[in-house]
Amino acid sequence: MICDLQKASMWKRISAFLFDLIMLSIVSVLFAWGLSLLLGYDGYQQELNDTYIRYGEAYGVDMRMPLSEYEALDEAGRAMLDEAYAALSADAWALRVYNLLIQLTILIISLSLLLGYLVMEFALPLKLGNGVTLGKKVFGLAVMRSDSVKLSAVGLFIRTVLGKFAIETMIPVIILMMIFWGTIGIVGPIVLIAILAVEIAVMISTRTNAMIHDLLANTVVVDYASQMIFDTYEDMIHYKEKLHAEMAAKQEY
């Protein structure tokens, strides 16, 4: 074990990140599936689809056609489709189901990702110790405070929930959903590019190649096999004092 910082190599960090991303995605999808069953998401989706079909049949149009087919319609066809959508928009029940589906989509995605992070990036590293996720365990990495002290549960929670989940995941996810629904315009891509630029700038400019979640929790990813991680700050100070005394004693000779 070495007391000095043994920063993890970038290729190992990337490999561990990709491994953890796959595992997080699997767990989050399972949570999303369970939440959709619990909240009856598929039933509301089917109800909305049936409503589209009913209005489409009433007006003799296909209300689920892609934009390319809509642009190929003649003026009469477009007018009939627009009339069908106007009638659908005036249907209070259909509008309520549509808004409910949007709210459930946001809720399910948010909760499933949060639960995935809590299991794979918080509870599991607490069990394994030293912030070790499955990916970090496979590639021999660990997480510690920048002063070589073990990461506390509070620090790990800040790193995972505030850094990884809230800032690095949910903000981009919400923006992507708003772009998909056409409710944010050019601001969305600009914010996404800004977040990515900040992430890259932080990684390049810091000695430990930190990311936003590392800055928030004051952590660094290290090589587990060679890095000495102390239980407390006092233990670290005592060890360095001991090394200093041994070096001073050798210099006397």
116 close to 28: Cβ distance less than 8 angstroms: yes
Using the Cα atoms of residue 191, residue 197, residue 200 and residue 203 in order, give the sign of their dihedral.
Answer: negative
Confidence of residue 252 (pLDDT cuts 50, 70, 90): low
Query: pLDDT category, 1, cuts 50, 70, 90?
Result: low
Q: Could you tell me which residues are beta bridge partners of residue 142?
A: 222
pLDDT tens profile 201-237: 998 998 888 999 999 999 999 999 889 899 888 888 8
The residue type found at 99 is N
pLDDT number for residue 79:
84
**pLDDT for res 183:** 81
Other C-beta atoms closer than 10 Å to the C-beta of 243 total 11
The amino acid that residue 143 corresponds to is V
Q: What is the pLDDT of residues 47-102, one digit of tens each?
A: 988 888 888 888 888 877 776 777 777 788 788 888 888 888 888 988 899 899 99
HEC string for 158-171: HHHHHHHHHHHHHH
> Per-domain residue ranges for the chain?
10-251
Higher-pLDDT residue of 52 and 35 is: 35
Average pLDDT along the chain: 89
What is each CA distance from 148 to 7, 89, 217, 228, 239, in whole angstroms? 11, 60, 13, 7, 11
The H-assigned helical ranges of the chain are 10-39, 41-59, 67-72, 75-89, 92-117, 124-128, 134-138, 153-157, 171-181, 187-205, 212-217, 233-251
Q: For position 2, what pLDDT does the model report?
A: 55
For the chain, strand residue ranges (E) read 141-145, 219-223
Q: pTM value?
A: 0.87
For 6-21, the pLDDT digits (tens) are 888 899 999 999 999 9
Enter the DSSP assignment of 152.
P
